[in-house]
Amino acid sequence: MSEKYPINLWVNEERYEKLQKAGLAAMCQEMLAGLKCIQVYCNDAQKDKILKVFPTAKFDSATTKSIELLPRQVKDKIFDLVVQKQSIDIMDDFLKNY
Amino acid sequence: MAEIGHGGKEIKERILEPAEAKKRIQGLKQYPIRSQLANEVIDIAYGFFSPLEGFMGKADVESVCKKMRLKDGKTVWSIPIVFDMSNEEIAEYGVKPGASLLLTYTGNPMAIFEIEEVYEYDKKSLAKDVYGTDEAKHPGCARTYAYKDKFVGGKITLVNRPKINEPFTPYFLPPLELRKIFKEKGWKRIVAHQTRNVPHTGHEWLMKGAWFQTYGELPMDKPYVGVLVNAIIGEKRKGDYIDEAIILTQDELRKSGYFGDHNHLTSLTFWDMRYAGPREAVFHAALRTNLGLTHHMFGRDHAGVGTYYGAYDAHRLLESLKGEINIVPVYSENWLYCPHCGEITSESLCNHKKEWQKFSGTLIRSIVQDGVKPPRLIFRPEVFDLVLECAEKYGFGSPFVEEEYLKKRTPVFVMPPLA
């Protein structure tokens, strides 16, 4: 099975409100001492594309094995797509535009 | 009493009094230097780099590259400290052995450079020896390849003290001053925490763990052990935390009571990181010996970059130099959050492996960037609030380095006109 790499969408009040309105609050998982988060996953090819298209992004290979430091606006777009599609399986759709 | 530094040599500041400086610089050609060299001039003159008295000649560079020692064959030194010039500059400024230049920075006199040698050195070979790779994408190699045509070796003497700008002023504590502070505090052992980061609780517990390790068998009647946070201040890359946030938040751990005056102090060293991994760890050991420290924390992949070095390569190299460096390495593992324990704990202590929630500086940066306040067990609220304050006050709205910060920030130090 191919590896999956999470992008952590940290859920602040604004994002939590959107999730609640869409009835999706249960999508959140608790990480790091209770911090709410939604994880969307990338496969190898998607991870490579993300790192290429967004040069500030970093794959934290040493500790968390997650893709971090995507610009806030980019993560907002990914988050909005999750809400719109009511699914965390949205990376193909998201990357279509890049 | 003499203050003895790395290599067993007395630390002596190489700084002229203003009247003497004015006489000595008469008639010297002025050569403006870039920030990397200005940082290193300060490091040499104040004794951060003791026993170096200037920029290295070819014999030192060769010995450092091939044997990790200065040309005396005894003193451990791992990274070449070189001054580069182009062929055109060498001709224009009449650079040759026996000549002197007046180095200037931010438009004012900084130091006299007494030239002893002008030489060439194979950059690829230097990179391979120091960084273990000659790939141009390694930031240390990239810096090496960007050096100009030739290197110039010779002694450095400061003619003018730098003006350290706020908020950095209280944190510029050169070796002799720092050693005086340690004596006043009555600390018998001091452990270094090397950082370029805003601290999360994983960092805080690295320091606390190192404090326990360092304390060892000492009595508890008085505080005998301190942690020195020595922040590396130098070239910034986009996405790094801004310098102001780093230094102020590190000190905030003391101010907010997670540590106290009795066991914690923050200072800075000017240095452009080379990301040389194990060799940079050895360099840090020499530097912190000069600061008067007895112990030094070394975590996983100390000063590494990408996948160039193994997690414990630095530990192994330091072990191989036992007896040759005068600082005790304190090795540490990562700290993490365990929901079962409900606390920050270490990989070596906790056995709830399946429940561990690991976090890194990168992950915390990502949370902050998303506009989320992390829980206090992960990131202290005082630190978070100060990060946001620094973003407004110094970072043009961002706690991370962006183009505007690089262009408009107040420099950490400038050279004032000669008094």
* A vs B: CB pairs below 8 A: 70
Residues of B in contact with A75 (CB under 8 A): 370
Residue B394 has pLDDT above 80, yes or no: yes
Residues of A in contact with B239 (CB under 8 A): 56, 69
Domain termination site, one of B161, B182, B198: B161
In a domain, B271, yes or no: yes
Query: Same domain for B43 and B18?
Result: yes
Query: Same domain for B132 and B242?
Result: no
Of B238, B363, B370, the CB nearest to A12: B370
The model's confidence at residue B300, banded by pLDDT at 50, 70 and 90, is confident
Least trusted range by pLDDT, from A16-20, A58-62, B112-116 = A58-62
Query: Same domain for B176 and B316?
Result: yes
In a domain, B321, yes or no: yes
CB of B239 less than 8 A from some CB of A: yes
> What is the percent of chain B with per-residue pLDDT over 70, rounded to a whole number?
100
Query: Same domain for B94 and B173?
Result: no
Residue A53 has pLDDT above 80, yes or no: yes
| pLDDT score at B129 | 98
In a domain, B1, yes or no: no
Residue B370 has pLDDT above 70, yes or no: yes
| pLDDT score at B313 | 95
B65 contacts: CB under 8 Å, gap ≥ 6 = B80, B125, B126, B129, B130
Query: Same domain for B68 and B49?
Result: yes
| Distance from C-alpha of B98 to C-alpha of B85, rounded to nearest angstrom | 17
Q: How far is B334 from chain A (nearest CA, A)?
A: 9
In a domain, B405, yes or no: yes
Q: Of residues B73 and A61, which shows the higher confidence score?
A: B73
In this prediction, residues B193-212 reach a mean pLDDT of 96
The position carrying tokens 């000063």 is B303
pTM of the model as a whole: 0.92
B365 contacts: CB under 8 Å, gap ≥ 6 = A68, A69, B239, B241, B400
CATH number of residue B103's parent domain = 3.10.400.10
Query: Same domain for B146 and B179?
Result: no
Least trusted range by pLDDT, from A5-14, B53-62, B149-158, B386-395 = A5-14
Instruction: Write out residues 277-316 of B within 8 Å (CB-CB) of A.
Output: 300-301, 307, 311
- Full domain range(s) for residue A71: 5-95
Query: Same domain for B380 and B270?
Result: yes
CB of B237 less than 8 A from some CB of A: no
In this prediction, residues B389-393 reach a mean pLDDT of 96
The model's confidence at residue B301, banded by pLDDT at 50, 70 and 90, is confident
Sheet holding B328-331, edge to edge: B264-270, B225-233, B189-195, B295-298, B328-331
Q: Of residues B369 and B233, which shows the higher confidence score?
A: B233
Q: How far is A56 from chain B (nearest CA, A)?
A: 7
The model's confidence at residue B369, banded by pLDDT at 50, 70 and 90, is confident
> What is the percent of chain B with per-residue pLDDT over 90, rounded to a whole number?
91
In a domain, B18, yes or no: yes
Residue B144 has pLDDT above 60, yes or no: yes
Query: Same domain for B34 and B17?
Result: yes
Query: Same domain for B17 and B42?
Result: yes
The position carrying tokens 């240390």 is B140
Tokens linked to B285: 């050991």
| pLDDT score at A1 | 53
- Full domain range(s) for residue B118: 6-161
| pLDDT score at B316 | 96
Domain termination site, one of B115, B139, B161: B161
In a domain, B307, yes or no: yes
Domain count, chain B: 2
Least trusted range by pLDDT, from A19-23, B274-278, B295-299 = A19-23
Query: Same domain for B134 and B207?
Result: no
CATH number of residue B363's parent domain = 3.40.50.620
Tokens linked to A65: 């094995």
In a domain, B419, yes or no: no
Beta-carbon separation of A72 and B371 below 8 A: yes
Domain termination site, one of B95, B128, B161: B161
Report H helices in chain A.
13-21, 44-53, 72-85, 91-95
Residue B173 has pLDDT above 90, yes or no: yes
The position carrying tokens 């777009």 is A77
| Distance from C-alpha of B360 to C-alpha of B38, rounded to nearest angstrom | 32
Q: How far is B357 from chain A (nearest CA, A)?
A: 6
Domain count, chain A: 1
Of A8, A33, A61, the CB nearest to B377: A33
Query: Same domain for B347 and B282?
Result: yes
Residues of A in contact with B357 (CB under 8 A): 31-33
Query: Same domain for B209 and B333?
Result: yes
Instruction: Quote the crossing angle between the two packed helices B243-255 and B381-393, to the nearest 10°.
Output: 150
Residue pair B294/B190 in contact by the 8 Å Cβ criterion:
yes
Pick among A68, A75, A79 to test the B interface (most B CBs inside 10 A): A68
